């Protein structure tokens, strides 16, 4: 077996070196290094969290924005805990899923395409990272009859011509595995993935061909390392594909996975990205990670993972709350606290004590984590203290409910009673479901939802993060001239021409795009302006209740039908001034907490 997959007592390649080698490789090939964007998109209300490296370039792919470069490389901070990309239930249970992870990526915006992307991927993996070629497998798009798309024979041919991979290891898969899409609509295209065989001594290399245990099979032996997406189509609102005017490359490789493989480890957690967190937790609880207690090991992994996620998010400016992304982060802290209490005997706040370790591990790559370490630790500690006041009683109440359910012979926790664990003790639904599974039970989700609705729970706010406009609605829109920063009347009132208007995708409100706008769009932690659009006679024809930015386009949203004539855009100046003062006060508070 290759040394690249053999367990070793010490790390050969630090994760920081792996990250640096990736960036330097592409910088040497004309790519501009672009720093990671915040882990939550401050200018994109369609996403709770940044879940892929391409998020900050979304406007380029949609054709609504540009960059002063054609090639880019970075390591992007990502969190996946909800929606299509949701790895939460696997975190800690398996050895390769995380809520927070780094996505190494390189991009081409209408520049190079399949040839260079494939050749450079192979060079980096086999020459710079020196992975054994006989452990690598490649997948390409095998075509889709419904979309009328043929197999990506070009990619398969390039793999054969540009690399010395065994041609038998170039496998074809359908749309589910090898056709990437941003969402229901928008840029998309076939992709080619590179997988690594982590099989141990005596394993049969030909297992990769077996659909039941090979590449893309239901096992963790063949690990997906890198995905190269070739965006050449746009999926329209009617589901049809049209060819994009420019072809782009979007790639992603998880740092945690490649660091694991390069160091011959059986788990992503057995790298220097996590081991210092285990040592700190061991010192706190007196138990040892890998000491033979499987439940304790899961707890160690969950705690380390969640400590990274909340530290990164809070350092980027997110705050815990009962809605949206703030509630997701609160849920992570409570999940970690429950694991620490039940499996490791940690009754007092402990997650906050891991924040300095996270900063030490990631601070060189993301300096904001190091500079805000005290602020982050304070936020986490307050959350732990708050939940700690009810955690013990909640665990007792869960035990009573579990006992009652088992005694009745049922296999499902009653939803209404389970909801009380949330309403009274602050246990999120996913935590209740997790605890039920540990006892061999399920949760009556319908009953829970009914109780939640009756209680008029305020935490169901994810709807506001739905995509506003489709790629087809955005196509061809010119950049909006923003005047909110100018002196004089134009900062709050001006005549404008309606460029395009319509209804948002979920039909909940209308939207208007103007050629010029005095409205400040939501971003940087500050909500957008509100106001009205008037006709030339001065009558209000549209109420602007929120202002969003998609790339370089400013979108005005409101509850009424969009006007069709030219308008006078008028900002509610009193509301703007109050919002500015509140935003400034928040910055002062954050500075005081950091200091």
Length of the chain: 595
Element (H, E) at 246: strand 241-254
**Comparison of pLDDT for 71 and 413, the residue scoring more:** 71
Instruction: Map residue 49 onto helix, strand or coil.
Output: coil
pLDDT band at residue 524, thresholds of 50, 70 and 90?
Answer: low
| pLDDT score, position 493 | 92
pLDDT band at residue 87, thresholds of 50, 70 and 90?
Answer: low
In sequence order, the 6+-apart residues with CB closer than 8 A to the CB of 359 are 311, 369, 370, 373, 376
Distances (CA, A) of 146 to 174, 231, 240: 11, 19, 10
pLDDT at residue 79 greater than cutoff 90: yes
Determine which of 151-160, 287-296, 347-356, 481-490 has the lowest per-residue pLDDT on average. Answer: 481-490
pLDDT band at residue 419, thresholds of 50, 70 and 90?
Answer: confident
Mean pLDDT of 445-450: 87
Q: What is the pTM of this model?
A: 0.76
pLDDT digits (tens, 9 = 90+) for 202-230: 788 888 888 778 898 877 889 999 999 99
| pLDDT score, position 48 | 83
**Comparison of pLDDT for 336 and 84, the residue scoring more:** 336
pLDDT at residue 170 greater than cutoff 90: yes
**443 contacts 401 by C-beta, under 8 angstroms:** no
pLDDT at residue 416 greater than cutoff 70: yes
pLDDT band at residue 461, thresholds of 50, 70 and 90?
Answer: very low
pLDDT band at residue 325, thresholds of 50, 70 and 90?
Answer: confident
**306 contacts 335 by C-beta, under 8 angstroms:** yes
HSE, side-chain direction, 13 A CA sphere, residue 527: 13
Nearest-10 crossing angle of helices 373-407, 573-594: 90
| pLDDT score, position 451 | 83
- Per-residue b/e over 234-260, b at no fewer than 16 CB within 10 Å? bbbeeeebeebebbbbbbbbbbbbbbb
Mean pLDDT of 445-458: 73
| pLDDT score, position 91 | 87
pLDDT at residue 305 greater than cutoff 70: yes
Look at strands 71-79 and 32-33 and give their pairing.
parallel
Mean pLDDT of 489-503: 89
**Comparison of pLDDT for 301 and 204, the residue scoring more:** 301
Determine which of 10-19, 66-75, 166-175, 513-522 has the lowest per-residue pLDDT on average. Answer: 10-19
pLDDT band at residue 506, thresholds of 50, 70 and 90?
Answer: low
**Comparison of pLDDT for 544 and 476, the residue scoring more:** 544
pLDDT band at residue 329, thresholds of 50, 70 and 90?
Answer: very high
| pLDDT score, position 376 | 94
pLDDT at residue 2 greater than cutoff 50: no
pLDDT digits (tens, 9 = 90+) for 559-587: 777 888 889 999 999 888 887 766 554 54
In sequence order, the 6+-apart residues with CB closer than 8 A to the CB of 115 are 158, 162
Give 490-533 as a DSSP string: GGTEEEE-EEEEEE-TTSSSEEEEESEE-PPPSBTTBPPP-EEE
pLDDT at residue 85 greater than cutoff 60: no
Q: How many CB atoms lie within 10 A of CB 360?
A: 15
Element (H, E) at 379: helix 373-407
pLDDT at residue 3 greater than cutoff 50: no
The whole-chain average pLDDT of the chain stands at 87
Distances (CA, A) of 359 to 11, 62, 329, 579: 20, 35, 18, 32
| pLDDT score, position 86 | 59
pLDDT band at residue 489, thresholds of 50, 70 and 90?
Answer: confident
Strand spans (E) along 34-84: 71-79, 81-82
What are the backbone angles phi and psi of residue 173, rounded to the nearest 5°? -135, 160
| pLDDT score, position 375 | 93
**Comparison of pLDDT for 531 and 472, the residue scoring more:** 531
pLDDT digits (tens, 9 = 90+) for 90-135: 888 888 889 999 999 999 999 999 999 999 999 999 999 999 999 9
Distances (CA, A) of 171 to 204, 214, 334: 17, 11, 43
* CA 200 – CA 484 distance, rounded (Å): 62
| pLDDT score, position 327 | 85
Instruction: Map residue 323 onto helix, strand or coil.
Output: coil
pLDDT at residue 540 greater than cutoff 90: no
Query: Token pair for residue 463?
Result: 């709807």
């Amino acid at each position: 077996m290759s040394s690249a997959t053999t367990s070793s007592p010490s790390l050969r390649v630090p994760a920081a070196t792996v990250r640096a080698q990736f960036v330097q490789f592409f910088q040497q090939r004309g790519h501009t290094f672009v720093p990671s964007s915040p882990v939550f998109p401050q200018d994109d209300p369609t996403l709770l969290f940044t879940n892929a490296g391409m998020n900050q370039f979304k406007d380029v792919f949609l054709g609504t924005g540009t960059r002063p470069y054609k090639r880019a490389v970075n390591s992007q901070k990502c969190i996946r805990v909800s929606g299509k990309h949701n790895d939460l239930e696997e975190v800690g249970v398996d050895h390769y899923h995380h809520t927070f992870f780094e996505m190494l990526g390189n991009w081409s915006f209408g520049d190079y395409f399949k040839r260079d992307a494939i050749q450079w991927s192979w060079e980096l993996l086999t020459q710079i990272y020196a992975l054994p070629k006989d452990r690598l497998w490649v997948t390409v798009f095998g075509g889709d009859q419904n979309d009328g798309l043929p197999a990506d024979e070009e990619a398969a041919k390039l793999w054969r011509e540009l690399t010395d991979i065994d041609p038998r290891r170039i496998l074809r898969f359908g749309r589910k595995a090898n056709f990437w899409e941003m969402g229901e609509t928008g840029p998309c295209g076939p992709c080619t993935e590179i997988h690594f065989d982590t099989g141990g001594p005596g394993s049969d290399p030909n297992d990769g061909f077996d659909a039941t245990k090979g590449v893309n099979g239901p096992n963790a032996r063949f690990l997906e390392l890198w995905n190269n997406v070739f965006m050449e189509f746009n999926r329209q609102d009617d589901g049809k594909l049209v060819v994009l005017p420019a072809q782009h490359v979007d790639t992603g490789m998880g740092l945690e996975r490649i660091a694991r493989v390069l160091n011959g480890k059986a788990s992503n957690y057995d790298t220097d990205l996590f081991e210092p967190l285990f040592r700190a937790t061991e010192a706190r609880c007196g138990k040892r990670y890998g000491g033979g207690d499987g439940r304790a090991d899961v707890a160690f992994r969950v705690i380390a993972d969640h400590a990274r996620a909340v530290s990164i998010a809070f350092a980027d400016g997110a705050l815990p709350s009962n809605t949206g992304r703030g509630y997701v982060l609160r849920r992570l802290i409570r999940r970690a606290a429950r694991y620490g209490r039940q499996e490791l005997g940690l009754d007092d706040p402990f997650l906050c004590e891991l924040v300095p370790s996270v900063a030490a591990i990631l601070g060189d790559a993301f300096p904001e984590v190091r500079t805000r370490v005290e602020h982050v630790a304070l936020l986490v500690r307050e959350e732990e203290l708050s939940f700690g006041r009810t955690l013990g009683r909640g665990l007792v109440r869960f035990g009573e409910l579990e006992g009652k359910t088992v005694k009745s012979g049922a296999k499902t926790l009653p939803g209404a009673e389970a909801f009380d664990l949330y309403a009274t003790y602050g246990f999120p639904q996913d935590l209740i479901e997790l605890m039920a599974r540990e006892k061999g039970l399920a949760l009556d989700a319908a009953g829970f939802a009914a109780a939640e609705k009756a209680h008029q729970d305020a935490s169901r706010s994810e709807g506001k993060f739905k995509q506003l406009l489709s790629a087809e609605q955005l196509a061809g829109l010119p950049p909006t001239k923003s005047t909110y920063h100018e002196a004089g009347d134009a900062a709050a009132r001006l005549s404008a021409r309606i460029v395009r208007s319509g209804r948002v995708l979920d039909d909940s409100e209308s939207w208007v795009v103007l050629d010029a706008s005095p409205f400040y769009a939501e971003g940087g932690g500050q909500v957008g302006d509100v106001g009205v659009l008037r006709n030339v006679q001065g009558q209000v024809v549209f109420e602007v209740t929120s202002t969003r930015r998609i790339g370089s386009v400013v979108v005005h949203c409101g509850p009424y039908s969009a006007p069709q004539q030219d308008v006078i855009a008028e900002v509610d100046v009193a509301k703007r001034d109050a919002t500015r003062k509140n935003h400034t006060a928040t910055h002062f508070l954050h500075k005081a907490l950091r200091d």
